[in-house]
Structure 1
Amino acid sequence: MSATSAGGDKGNGVWALVRACLFLALLLSGIWWVLVDGDNGSWPLGAPAVALAVAVGVLAGHRAPTRWQLGGWLGFLPFFVVRSVLGAFDVARRVYHPKVDLTPAFFDYRIRLTTATAQVFFANAVSLLPGTLSAQLRGDQLVVHALDATQPVQRDLAILEERVARLFGQTASLAETSE
């Protein structure tokens, strides 16, 4: 019985590795495709780059997230795209306005997400949205740099965190705002 059990565990490990490789390959291929504006002629360079990045990612121990929720993605992607576009317009407005209207500041934000993967994803998502940058992640504390402290940064971070929580299928209530 132990031989079967050990063989089953080994099989699960192989499938986990295959899933991780496929996930990373699809994710990185999508990123490549976006970066080259859908130019299919770039794949002679892109395919080896993606393969190398997958190999490095797997060797570094990265695994495919197994707890993402499809419904979470369906809610997160439109939210993220809309926020990115609005943020880009805000940055463009500030660049082309004769008087630059900036009030930069650092904020401490207590992350209520329960897994390290979700916390790191959240920190990276904060940095990808224009006007904010994750400066440091210490346990459940995220230091965020914002271009404009007069904006509701804490509220916006809480909204983003709620979306990330749904993405990872976390049911813990995030309704209260961070301090």
Structure 2
Amino acid sequence: MTGSSRDRDGRAAIRGGQLWRIAMFRAASFLCLWLVLAGANPGDFPAAAVAIATATWTSLHLLEPSSSRRSLVAIARLALLFLYHSIVAGIDVAGRALHPRLPLHPGFVAYPSRLSRGVRQNVFTTLTSLLPGTVPAGEENGHIVYHCLDVTQPVLDDLAAEEAALVRALYND
């Protein structure tokens, strides 16, 4: 079979061998986490095995495996963009909070995300909720509604840049 098959949602389907590789990678990651947190005490191995197996099984069901490749360069760019926006927005929010007249123009904006509902949109709203001055506040007519400290700022442009960076970093299907 050439190419990759697609499931009913249009995502690339994962073959059995790929699923095992993903599961083994996740199990190894959870093992590393266990070793960092609990150390390598031989008496803990049975509990570690149960915890790692449970965490791996749960992660495979809650964070669906994907056949897409993650770009380390795009992930680094996303991290730098997030850091840049966090610093700029943090300085802006601090300046507004310390200003004698408190120059705020609070309100709501509706962002038309191109990401599918579910895990992808949840990752995006989680990422953007960490940026100072904007908080996802719900959904309306297929748009993500954000509460903003200043609606006169280019909030929609910033959200579009974050979404594009997230797509490049994580969702190159």
Relative to the length of structure 2, the TM-score reads: 0.65
Asked whether 1:62 is paired with 2:43, we answer: no
Deviation at 1:90, TM superposition (A): 1.3
| Secondary structure in 1 matching 2:62 | coil
How many angstroms does 1:15 deviate by?
A: 3.3
Q: Which has the higher contact order (CA 8 A, sep 6+)?
A: 2
Percent identity of the aligned residues? 27
CA contact (8 A) 1:69 1:169 kept: no
Is there any run of 5+ residues in structure 2 with no aligned partner, and where? 1-14, 39-49
- When residues 147 and 21 of structure 1 are mapped into structure 2, their CA distance, relative to the original with a 3 A threshold, is farther
Greater per-residue helix proportion: 1
Does the CA-based 8 Å contact 2:26-2:56 persist in structure 1? no
Question: For the structure 1 residues 66 and 78, does the alpha-carbon distance in structure 2 shift closer, same or farther, using more than 3 Å as the test?
Answer: farther
Query: C-alpha separation between the residues in 1 aligned to 2:134 and 2:73?
Result: 26
Q: Could you tell me which of 71, 76, 79 is aligned with 1:77?
A: 79
Matched, 1:100 2:99: no
The residue type equivalent to 2:62 in the other structure is: H
Structure 1: which 5+ runs fail to align? 1-7, 30-39, 45-50, 172-179
C-alpha distance 109-14 of structure 1, shift in aligned 2 (>3 A): same
C-alpha change, 1:17 and 1:108, in structure 2 (3 Å) is same
CA distance in 2, matches of 1:113, 1:135: 17
Deviation at 1:134, TM superposition (A): 1.0
2:42 maps to none
CA distance in 2, matches of 1:145, 1:21: 39
Paired positions, count: 144
* Aligned-CA RMSD value: 3.5
Aligned-residue offset at 1:146: 0.8
